[in-house]
């Protein structure tokens, strides 16, 4: 029987975990890394070019919407989700849950720009007038952080149990 | 718990999304109602929002101001704050205020003709508590491209359109600097005089898409007064009018402005002069008056081919005493000079005075005619120097000599000068000798008169006087001048 850390698994069970991990990690990779990293090119494929503003304006808009650190955290979360699937029940599972919860909170914080999303519209978009839109989504951000917070708590509880007598 | 938390988070987003999505179809624009009080125009734009969602909309507000480059507020608007509870409908009224006292015609003209930066400040706010709140603001310089930038009206050119109108073609050009609006449609111009009377009108078709240069001709049909005034007829001048121009705009009605315009008027009878009249004998009832008429036809579009009628009036009595005519052919830009010949009645009713005394005869000559359909008239005073045909009539001493038993023959030297420029003294002169008490005591022989203008006659009158009347110290001699233009009696006192 293959053994991973303190966890002994049947071959079929390990294979199932790996497959589940790959699928979950793939979905995470797509949603949290691939989409923010390639948003502009994907948008260009989905929406006709004439319906979009000037590419330079679009770049400016997206750079103010999508934090450049998001894809990197998304990549980290991809790895953590795979490890969560693979190491569920092991003593490493608790710390992984804590790290992944913290990472997801960080991801959400950057995604929501700390709760208030401020979009600055380039002057060239509005006849030379600079405009800004501030959307306060703090409550929604906190609601989305709540599952991650619970995940951290779960990780901490599991870690405590594993390290106990 | 984690799953519940995820459901709560997704549910919260769904509630917000559904509140917005379900309410969006129930946003409608109401009847826009303008309300003008004194100089302030208020435009209320009601926006009715039906909140069909699960959360309330709060603090909905909007604010807008637009200022020109000098800081003058062109437009102000505001609305709210408004709260719409879930499941209810409210109307959010945005009130746009335009103080027309601030937007003077000059300012409007400036906006239409001068590109500039307008300052915009706008804000929009609202919230779906506790989930979302939104605050949008915009400020900056908004480039206003003037739709009639560098509007210019060039030098007009004149031409005759018909018998009553001149066609004044004025080139018009401008740059449609507006990146947003096209200018298309008919424009018009009205030309009014100082009394506000319309004297001309015209149209122009404009098609100037955004960021293009327009050049066209504005055709003005200028009404020439049917009776040309003396000043227009005889004097070059500058005619000053107000041109009220209305150009098509962009769905906001026409853009109109007034501009003073000046036309150089070149008189068709410029420098009209009536020379000193020369008079000559015509017949027993009329004398002939000839006067040089000269002028320059400065008008570029009126060619004179007309007959001028002259009517002569006695200034004192006002009665017509003569007439004349002159055919004038004076194309544009030519000088005309020709004699006008008229025939004036001899002033026979005043001949008892005028036969013996020089005088100045005062007449008024009225001229009238039609030039290319434009009638004109004018008056000139005419003074004719009248030289007396029998001027300085003098008599000598009456000499008596025996003739027969009842009468004595008499001889009387006499002389006069024909001072007339044109009238000769032709006819007969008869005479009667009276005592101072009026009793007739003698007669003179008939004397044939034939004195040319300017000549002097010096001769003796002969006759007969009763014997008993000889020896008186003085007599009265009645001289009867019988000429073709009248018979005049002149009494002279004689001393023996």
Contact B111, B70 (CB under 8 A): no
Of A62, A61, A143, residue with least CA distance to B16: A143
Predicted pLDDT at B245: 84
Nearest CA in chain B to A143: B9
Domains annotated on chain B, with CATH: 22-103+111-144 (2.60.40.10), 149-265 (2.60.40.10), 270-386 (2.60.40.1820), 391-495 (2.60.40.10)
Neighboring chain B residues of A136 at a CB cutoff of 8 Å:
127, 132-135
For B105-117, the pLDDT digits (tens) are: 777 778 888 888 8
| pLDDT band of B230, cuts 50, 70, 90 | low
For A83-99, the pLDDT digits (tens) are: 999 998 888 899 999 99
B8 to chain A, closest Cα gap in Å:
7
- Residue B100 or residue A44, greater confidence: A44
Q: How far apart are CA B477 and CA B429, in angstroms?
A: 12
Residues of chain B with pLDDT > 90, as a percent, come to 25
Contact B141 A131 (CB under 8 A): no
Whether A135 contacts chain B with CB within 8 A? yes
Q: Which of B67, B69, B132, B181 to mutate to test the interface with A (most CBs of A within 10 A)?
A: B132
The complex scores an ipTM of 0.74
| pLDDT band of B398, cuts 50, 70, 90 | confident
Whether A131 contacts chain B with CB within 8 A? yes
Q: Which of A113, A119, A140, A141 to mutate to test the interface with B (most CBs of B within 10 A)?
A: A140
Whether the per-residue pLDDT at A102 is higher than 90: the answer is yes
Predicted pLDDT at B227: 55
Neighboring chain B residues of A140 at a CB cutoff of 8 Å:
9, 12-13, 16, 131-132
Give the length of chain A.
Answer: 165
Whether A136 contacts chain B with CB within 8 A? yes
Whether the per-residue pLDDT at B340 is higher than 70: the answer is yes
pTM, rounded to two decimals? 0.53
Average pLDDT of the residues in B452-465: 94
Q: Tokens for B155, please give them.
A: 């030098």
User: Counting runs of H as helices and runs of E as strands, what totals does chain A give?
Assistant: 7, 4
Predicted pLDDT at B223: 79
Counted across chains A and B, CB pairs separated by less than 8 A come out at 73
Angle at alpha carbon of residue B131, lines to B129 and B137, rounded to 5°? 80
Contact B130 A139 (CB under 8 A): yes
Whether A137 contacts chain B with CB within 8 A? yes
Q: Which of B9, B20, B65 to mutate to test the interface with A (most CBs of A within 10 A)?
A: B9
Contact B306, B328 (CB under 8 A): yes
Whether A27 contacts chain B with CB within 8 A? no
Whether the per-residue pLDDT at A148 is higher than 60: the answer is yes
Contact B331, B270 (CB under 8 A): no
H/E stretch holding B174 reads: strand B165-176
For B264-287, the pLDDT digits (tens) are: 788 888 988 888 888 888 888 888
Whether A126 contacts chain B with CB within 8 A? yes
Nearest by CB to B5, from A135, A139, A147: name it: A147
B40 to chain A, closest Cα gap in Å:
27
Q: How far apart are CA B444 and CA B450, in angstroms?
A: 18
Q: How far apart are CA B117 and CA B212, in angstroms?
A: 20
Q: How far apart are CA B317 and CA B367, in angstroms?
A: 19
Q: How far apart are CA B92 and CA B83, in angstroms?
A: 9
Contact B69, B12 (CB under 8 A): no
Query: Rounded to an integer, what is the distance from CA B239 to the centroid of its chain?
Result: 7
CA distances in angstroms from A133 to A113, A126, B76, listed in the order given = 13, 13, 21
β partners of residue A95:
none
Predicted pLDDT at B388: 93
CA distances in angstroms from B233 to B77, B158, B240, B263, B466, listed in the order given = 58, 17, 16, 15, 71
Q: Tokens for A113, please give them.
A: 């720009």
Predicted pLDDT at A138: 92
For B147-161, the pLDDT digits (tens) are: 889 888 887 787 777
């Amino acid at each position: 029987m293959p053994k991973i850390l303190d966890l002994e698994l049947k071959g079929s069970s390990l294979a199932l975990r790996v497959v589940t991990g790959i699928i979950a990690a793939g979905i995470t990779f797509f949603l949290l890394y691939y989409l923010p990293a390639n948003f502009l090119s994907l948008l260009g494929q989905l929406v006709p070019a004439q319906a979009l503003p000037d590419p330079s304006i679009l770049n400016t808009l997206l750079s103010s919407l999508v934090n450049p650190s998001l894809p990197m955290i998304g990549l980290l979360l991809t790895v953590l989700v795979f490890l969560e699937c693979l190491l569920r029940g092991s003593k490493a599972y608790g710390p992984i849950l804590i790290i992944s919860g913290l990472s997801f909170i960080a991801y959400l914080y950057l995604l929501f720009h700390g709760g208030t999303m401020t979009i600055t519209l380039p002057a060239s978009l509005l006849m030379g007038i600079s405009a800004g839109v501030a959307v306060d989504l703090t409550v929604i951000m906190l609601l989305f952080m709540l599952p991650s917070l619970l995940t951290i708590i779960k990780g901490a509880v599991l870690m405590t149990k594993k390290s106990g007598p | 718990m984690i799953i519940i938390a995820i459901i709560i988070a997704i549910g919260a987003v769904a509630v917000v999304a559904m509140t917005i999505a379900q309410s969006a179809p129930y946003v409608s624009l109401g009847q826009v109602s303008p309300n003008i009080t004194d100089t302030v125009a208020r435009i209320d734009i009601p926006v009715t929002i039906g909140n069909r969602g699960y959360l309330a909309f709060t603090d909905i507000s909007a604010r807008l101001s637009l200022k020109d480059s000098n800081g003058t507020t062109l437009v102000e608007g505001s609305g709210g704050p408004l709260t719409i509870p879930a499941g209810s409908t409210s109307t959010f009224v945005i009130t746009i205020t335009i103080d027309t006292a601030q937007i003077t015609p000059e300012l409007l003209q400036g906006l239409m003709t001068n590109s500039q930066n307008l300052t915009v400040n706008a804000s929009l706010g609202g919230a779906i508590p506790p989930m979302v709140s939104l605050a949008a603001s915009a400020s900056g310089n908004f480039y206003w491209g003037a739709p009639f930038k560098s509007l210019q009206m060039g030098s007009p050119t004149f031409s005759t359109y018909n018998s009553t109108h001149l066609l004044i073609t004025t080139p018009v050009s401008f740059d449609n600097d507006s990146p947003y609006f096209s200018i298309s449609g008919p424009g018009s111009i009205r030309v009014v005089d100082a009394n506000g009377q319309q004297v001309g009108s015209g149209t122009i078709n404009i098609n100037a898409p955004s960021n293009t240069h327009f050049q066209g001709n504005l055709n003005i049909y200028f009404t020439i007064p049917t009776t040309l005034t003396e000043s227009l007829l005889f004097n070059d001048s500058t005619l000053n009018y107000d041109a009220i121009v209305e150009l098509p705009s962009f769905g906001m009605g026409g853009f109109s402005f007034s501009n003073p315009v000046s036309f150089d008027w070149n008189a068709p009878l410029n420098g009209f002069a009536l020379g000193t009249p020369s008079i000559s004998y015509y017949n027993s009832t009329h004398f002939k008056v000839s006067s040089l008429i000269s002028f320059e036809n400065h008008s570029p579009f009126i060619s004179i081919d007309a007959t001028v009628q002259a009517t002569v009036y006695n200034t004192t009595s006002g009665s017509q005493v003569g007439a004349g005519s002159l055919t004038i052919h004076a194309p544009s830009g030519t000088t005309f000079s020709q004699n006008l010949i008229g025939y004036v009645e001899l002033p026979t009713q005043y001949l008892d005075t005028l036969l013996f005394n020089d005088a100045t005869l005062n007449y008024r000559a009225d001229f009238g005619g039609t030039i290319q359909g434009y009638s004109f008239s004018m008056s000139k005073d005419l003074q004719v120097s009248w030289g007396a045909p029998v001027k300085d009539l003098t008599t000598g001493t009456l000499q008596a000599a025996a003739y027969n038993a009842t009468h004595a023959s008499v001889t009387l030297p006499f002389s006069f000068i024909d001072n007339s420029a044109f009238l000769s003294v032709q006819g007969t002169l008869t005479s009667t000798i009276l005592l101072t008490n009026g009793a007739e005591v003698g007669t003179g022989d008939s004397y044939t008169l034939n004195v040319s203008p300017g000549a002097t006659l010096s001769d003796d009158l002969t006759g007969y006087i009763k014997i008993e009347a000889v020896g008186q110290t003085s007599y009265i001699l009645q001289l009867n001048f019988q000429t073709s233009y009248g018979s005049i009696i002149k009494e002279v006192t004689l001393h023996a």
